């Protein structure tokens, strides 16, 4: 329900000048999506929406944080390149071997990202276990790891 609502919010602010939460709430209702003000506030925070000055001089909601998300991805890539020695899939589990003491940092970095299919992480000293929701998402993440670290 939340991802669907947030998708509708994104579509609304992309195609309309929405200045207030009330306008957003009304626009959602026009599309058949009921939402409380508290839920909208959480969605706005989760989606990193901000008010920016539009071309007509009014403020409107826009998506922010794209560069912050890109920065996070770059930091994650750097952490992985510098700390991961190997990785291997085991059904829906991705086992990552790191330099001694760095598995918690790898798990923490991954937990802070939005990774499709990641159910959770568990870190030892030099081994991280990533529980994925299915085998396909595990293999996809493994391929992404290969492109980042080259293993």
Q: Which two tokens stand for residue 71?
A: 């920065």
Instruction: Tell me the average pLDDT across 27-39.
Output: 92
* pLDDT of the residue at 106: 87
Dihedral sign for Cα 11, 15, 18, 22, please.
Answer: negative
Q: Where are the domains of the chain?
A: 2-63, 68-149
Instruction: Please tell me the pTM assigned to this model.
Output: 0.54
Q: What are phi and psi of 92, to 5 degrees?
A: -100, 20
* pLDDT of the residue at 67: 46
pLDDT in tens, 105-137: 888 888 877 788 999 999 999 999 999 999 999
113 neighbors 73 (Cβ within 8 angstroms): yes
One of 1.20.810.10, 1.20.5.510, 1.10.10.60, 3.30.1360.40 is the CATH number of 68-149, namely 3.30.1360.40
105 neighbors 63 (Cβ within 8 angstroms): no
pLDDT in tens, 61-100: 888 754 445 556 677 778 788 889 999 999 999 999 999 9
SS3 143: helix
CATH number assigned to the domain covering 2-63: 1.10.10.10
> For residues 19 and 92, what is the distance between their CA atoms, to the nearest angstrom?
44
**Residue 5: burial class (beta carbons within 10 Å; 0-12, 13-18, 19+):** middle
> For residues 112 and 145, what is the distance between their CA atoms, to the nearest angstrom?
16
* pLDDT of the residue at 118: 94
Q: What does the buried/exposed string (b/e) look like for 96-108 if buried means 16 or more CB atoms within 10 Å of the residue's CB?
A: bbbeeebbebbbe
Pairing relationship of beta strands 93-98 and 127-132 according to DSSP bridges: antiparallel
């Amino acid at each position: 329900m939340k991802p669907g609502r947030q998708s509708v919010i994104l579509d609304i602010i992309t195609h309309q000048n929405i200045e207030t939460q009330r306008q957003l709430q009304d626009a959602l209702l026009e599309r058949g999506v009921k939402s409380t003000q508290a839920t909208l506030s959480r969605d706005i925070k989760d989606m990193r929406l901000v008010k920016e000055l539009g071309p007509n001089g009014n403020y409107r909601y826009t998506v922010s944080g794209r560069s912050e998300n890109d920065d996070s991805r770059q930091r994650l890539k750097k952490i992985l390149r510098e700390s991961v020695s190997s990785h291997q899939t085991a059904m829906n589990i991705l086992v990552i071997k790191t330099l001694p003491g760095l598995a918690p940092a790898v798990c923490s970095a991954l937990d802070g990202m939005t990774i499709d299919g990641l159910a959770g992480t568990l870190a030892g000293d030099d081994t991280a276990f990533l529980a994925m929701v299915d085998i396909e998402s595990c293999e996809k993440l493994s391929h992404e790891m290969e492109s980042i670290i080259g293993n």
